[in-house]
């Protein structure tokens, strides 16, 4: 069964241009299914039916028995965690199975798509978390002391907020993709889709300072052409980049739950609050569907409602019956 899972991984990588994270997520799901199938005495994908797929999904939802402490843990998530699959996780499980069978039938590895009748659950859209504009100002204050690393961090944060880049796009950005004189960068996003994103004046200034006084001191003989480099002159790994930026959030006094996409969400939310068209925001973010971008209308709407309640004069009126008695001049 492993051979066809590997074939799908190659397809996702080379033909669909999916990220390494997406490839691993889909292949891990299929490996879990193969492990479950082995316990059901299923030896090949040709033996799998719709009944088996439904049985597997039911197993994922209902098997709540934690493994005994003296038993070695199985690869992947523990069984107790599988029992608590969220709707989003179940959606991904079904999506992976549907994609796999569609691919196998298309490539004639399997004769029948048994997953085509699986229904995807309705997903509730999680509202993105954005920083306030006060928090943004705190975060983007120039760092001291001035070092190559601090110039790099400041430039990365300014660029993320100015252009709404994903962290993967930020760490993959190369020198030939930036056009500071014209005020834009060329970004390779999800699915290897290219888009041109404008860069604001402050971000341009921060990047220029880094390129002049920071990056030359980080470059080594074998350094790649990435714009942003670690202190060892290498490209950032995903975890290293987020750890660096998260420290800057904490140093700025932002101690609430911080997520890697928070600056991207702030970029979109603040544009919308200041009157930007939703279609323009979609293009800037690189969303293939406008429905993905529409979630920001809920965030902006909630914030506008809060401002309205706080400042509108009709919202400040004391409820009837609670008025202070009028005092007449003697």
**Does 96 share its domain with 152?**
no
Helix (H) or strand (E) holding 187: strand 184-188
Contact 26, 15 (CB under 8 A): no
**In total, how many domains does the chain have?**
2
Residue 45 domain flag: yes
Domain extent for 43: 2-106
Helix (H) or strand (E) holding 178: strand 178-179
* Predicted pLDDT at 129: 81
* Predicted pLDDT at 11: 86
Per-residue burial over 179-188, b if 16 or more Cβ lie within 10 Å, else e, is eeeeebbebb
Residue 325 domain flag: no
* Predicted pLDDT at 301: 60
* Catalytic site positions: 166, 190, 261, 264, 287, 296
* Predicted pLDDT at 192: 78
Contact 155, 206 (CB under 8 A): yes
In this structure, how many other beta carbons lie within 10 angstroms of the beta carbon of residue 52? 16
Q: Which pLDDT tens digit goes with each residue over 185-222?
A: 999 887 778 888 999 999 999 999 999 999 999 999 99
**CATH number, domain containing residue 38:** 1.10.150
Q: Which pLDDT tens digit goes with each residue over 7-45?
A: 998 888 877 777 788 889 999 999 999 999 999 999 999
CA distance 216 to 246: 24
Residues with pLDDT less than 50, the chain: 64-83, 320-330
Residue 163 domain flag: yes
Residue 114 domain flag: no
Residue 330 domain flag: no
């Amino acid at each position: 069964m492993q051979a066809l899972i590997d074939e799908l991984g190659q397809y996702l990588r080379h033909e669909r241009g999916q990220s390494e994270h997406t490839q691993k997520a889909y292949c891990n799901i299929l490996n879990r299914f193969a492990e479950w199938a082995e316990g059901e005495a299923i030896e090949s994908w040709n033996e799998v039916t719709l009944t088996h797929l439904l049985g597997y999904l039911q197993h994922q939802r209902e098997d709540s028995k934690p493994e005994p402490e003296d038993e070695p843990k199985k690869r992947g998530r523990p069984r107790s965690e599988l029992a608590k699959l969220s709707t989003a996780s179940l959606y991904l499980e079904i999506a992976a199975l549907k994609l796999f069978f569609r691919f196998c039938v298309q490539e004639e590895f399997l004769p029948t798509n048994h997953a085509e009748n699986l229904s995807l659950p309705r997903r509730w859209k999680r509202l993105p978390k954005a920083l306030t504009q006060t928090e943004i100002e705190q975060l983007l204050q120039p760092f001291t002391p001035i070092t190559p690393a601090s110039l790099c961090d400041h430039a990365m944060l300014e660029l993320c907020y100015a252009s709404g880049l994903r962290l993967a796009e930020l760490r993959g950005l190369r020198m030939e993709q930036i056009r500071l004189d014209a005020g834009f960068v060329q970004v390779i996003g999800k699915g290897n889709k290219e888009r041109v994103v404008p860069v604001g004046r402050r971000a341009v200034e921060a990047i220029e300072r880094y390129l002049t006084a920071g990056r030359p001191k980080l470059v080594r003989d074998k350094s790649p052409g990435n714009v942003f480099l670690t202190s060892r002159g290498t490209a950032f790994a995903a975890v290293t980049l987020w750890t660096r930026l998260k420290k800057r959030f904490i140093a700025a006094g932002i101690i609430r739950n911080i997520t890697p996409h928070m600056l991207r969400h702030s970029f979109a939310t603040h544009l919308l609050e200041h009157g930007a068209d939703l279609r323009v925001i979609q293009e800037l973010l690189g969303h293939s569907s406008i429905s993905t971008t529409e979630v920001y209308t809920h965030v902006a709407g909630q914030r506008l409602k809060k401002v309205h309640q706080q400042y509108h004069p009709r919202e400040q009126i004391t409820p009837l019956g609670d008025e202070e008695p009028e005092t007449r001049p003697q």
